[in-house]
Homo-oligomer: A and B are copies of this chain.
Amino acid sequence: MEYTHFDQNGNAVMVDVSDKIETKRAAVAKGSIRMSRECYEKIKNQDMKKGDVLGVARIAGIMGAKKTSELIPLCHILNLTSITVDFIMQEESCSVTAVCEAKTTGKTGVEMEALTGVQIALLTIYDMCKAVDKTMEIYGVCLCSKSGGKSGDVVYRLPEGE
């Protein structure tokens, strides 16, 4: 396989998808943030109340996914038909896993939108918790699955795992 984001002279291009047909496409990505036990318990307990960390991070992730084409230079502009961001509390490792699903009907896939939603959600958790713990680490950011388009439906990883 070759890179698709360069022309024959090695210049960066936005891939030409003019002749692709529109299909329903979806992608799921995930990623985690590891923190101190103290910080983890705060998020978990607060999750029951309004204005919680994860509620803010979910909104940031959804809004971030909509901005993907502004952030990633060679991404196409896409009209997403669905975005969800969910969180899984990982007790043993004091981690929160963010899972983002993006969907569209279009000529290109939505992997980058799902990944961007995960990254912005995790950065927002970082921002809101950094007064409590400055050594948090984001890890395990990857694509779980994609469907639609030429390559069809593929599952790479399960969203539930860490």
Contacts and interface: CB of A to CB of B under 8 A. Distances in A.
A51 B58 contact: yes
Q: For chain A, what secondary structure do more than half of its interface residues adopt (helix, strand, loop), or is it mixed?
A: mixed
Interface residues of A, number: 91
Give how many copies assemble into the complex. Answer: 6
Contact of A2 (B31, B52, B131, B138): B131
14 contacts: A5-B56, A5-B131, A6-B51, A10-B51, A11-B84, A13-B62, A13-B84, A17-B81, A50-B52, A56-B59, A64-B71, A112-B123, A134-B154, A139-B141
Interface of A: 1-7, 9-18, 20, 24, 26, 31, 42, 46-56, 58-60, 62-64, 66-67, 69-84, 86, 103-107, 111-112, 115-116, 119-120, 123-124, 126-132, 134-143, 146, 154, 156
